[in-house]
Amino acid sequence: MNITPSKKNNFLPYAGRKAVLATMHSKHTAVAPALRAGVGLEIVTATGIDTDQLGTFSGEIPRNGTMLEVAISKTRLGMKASGLSLGLATEGTFGPHPALPFLAAGIELMTFVDDERKIVVSESFVAPHTNFDYLVVAPGEDLKGFLDRVGFPSHALIVRPNEGSPSQGLVKGILDASDLGRAIAVAASLSSDGKAQLETDMRAHLNPTRMQSLALLAEKLAKRLATACPECDAPGFGRTETREGLLCEACGAPTQMIATEVFSCASCSYREDRPRFDGLRKAPPGSCPECNP
Ligand SMILES: [Zn+2]
Ligand SMILES: [Zn+2]
C-alpha cells in the first residue's frame, strides 16, 4: 500500500520541533517514540493542566462535545499552559464494537494542532485489543474469571455502588486484591440493592493494553504528518472519509461495503478519490442486499 503522494523522499516538516502532549495520565511514554521516529517531533508534557474538566471515563464529569471537539479542546489546554504552537492530545471511548455488538471495542483518536500552519490533523482507529468490561457483584462472590479476563492486577479497576450517584463510594485505580475487596464491601453497603459494580479503569497509565493502542495510533499519526499534500506541500495529507457503494460482483447492485476512500489536505481544498485500499473492486454476493437480502 502506498499512501505517500509526496515527491519528496524524506518529508520531515517537524524535525526537532517541540509539541506539547496534554495528558494527566503518562501517555507520553506510549506516544513519544513513534512521533520522534516518524516525523522528528519532540514531545513534552504540560504541567498543571486538568484534562478531567473536559470529561472523565468514570462519568463524574460528562464529556461535552464529540470526541474530536474534546480532543482539540484538550490539545489547546496543553498549548496554552506551555506556550507552544504545536500540541497533541488523545481521546478514547469504550463500549460495544460498532460492527460486532457482542464484543467490546475501544475507539482511540489523536489530534495534532499546528497554530503556525493553522492546521488540525487527526487519526483514529478501532483499537486492536481492549480489556473494557464490567460486572455487578455481591460481596464474597467469586471474581476469578472476570479478573483474569480484564488483566487485573496489571490493569486497574474501578468500583462503585451498583445503584446511587455516580461519584458516591467511587474508588478508582485499584491495583491490589485487598483494596478491591474493601472497595466492593463499602460500595455494596452504599447501594440500595447491596451490590457493587466493577469496571475496568481505562485511564492510560493504569491500562497497559490501552498504552499499546496509543503507541500504534501515534505511529499512524506520525505517518500522516510525514505525508505532504501534493498540491500545497502542507503536512498531514491522508484519508478523511470513506464512501460506501462497492458494486456486487453477481448483480451489480451497490452494497454497504466501502467503494471509495477520500484523501484530503489539512490546509488547502485539494482532495483525491481513491479506490479502496485492499484492492477489492467488486463486493461478494454475500454482502449484497439483492443477492443476500
Ligand atoms: Zn448482488
Ligand atoms: Zn494542500
pLDDT score for 132:
93
Query: Could you tell me if 99 and 187 lie in one domain?
Result: no
Query: Could you tell me if 217 and 257 lie in one domain?
Result: no
9 found inside a domain:
no
Taking only the tens place, the pLDDT of each residue in 132-165 is: 999 999 999 999 999 999 999 999 999 999 998 7
Taking alpha carbons only, the member of 1, 9, 83 closest to residue 277 is: 1
Distance of CA 181 from the midpoint of ligand 2 (Å): 56
pTM: 0.85
Taking only the tens place, the pLDDT of each residue in 17-48 is: 999 999 877 888 999 999 999 999 999 998 77
Q: What is the CATH number of the domain that holds 147?
A: 3.30.1490.20
Taking only the tens place, the pLDDT of each residue in 88-109 is: 999 999 887 766 677 788 999 9
Taking only the tens place, the pLDDT of each residue in 16-25 is: 999 999 987 7
Query: Could you tell me if 79 and 216 lie in one domain?
Result: yes
Domain hosting 217: range is: 18-128+205-230
Distance of CA 271 from the midpoint of ligand 2 (Å): 8
Q: What is the CATH number of the domain that holds 69?
A: 3.40.50.10150
What is the sign of the dihedral through the CA atoms of 123, 220, 153 and 101?
positive
Query: Could you tell me if 139 and 209 lie in one domain?
Result: no
31 found inside a domain:
yes
Query: Could you tell me if 191 and 211 lie in one domain?
Result: no
Distance of CA 290 from the midpoint of ligand 1 (Å): 5
Query: Could you tell me if 117 and 151 lie in one domain?
Result: no
Query: Could you tell me if 76 and 210 lie in one domain?
Result: yes
Distance of CA 6 from the midpoint of ligand 2 (Å): 11
Tally Cβ neighbours within 10 Å of residue 143: 18
Ligand number nearest CA of 272 is 2
The number of helices, as runs of H, and strands, as runs of E, in the chain is 5, 12
- Give dist(CA 120, CA 131) in Å, integer: 30
Taking only the tens place, the pLDDT of each residue in 186-208 is: 999 999 999 999 999 999 999 99
- pLDDT bracket for residue 3 (50, 70, 90): very low
Ligand number nearest CA of 291 is 1
Distance of CA 263 from the midpoint of ligand 2 (Å): 11
Distance of CA 33 from the midpoint of ligand 1 (Å): 47
1 found inside a domain:
no
Taking only the tens place, the pLDDT of each residue in 248-276 is: 999 999 999 999 999 999 999 999 999 99
Query: Could you tell me if 49 and 190 lie in one domain?
Result: no
Query: Could you tell me if 53 and 164 lie in one domain?
Result: no
- pLDDT bracket for residue 280 (50, 70, 90): very high
7 found inside a domain:
no
Number of domains in the chain: 3
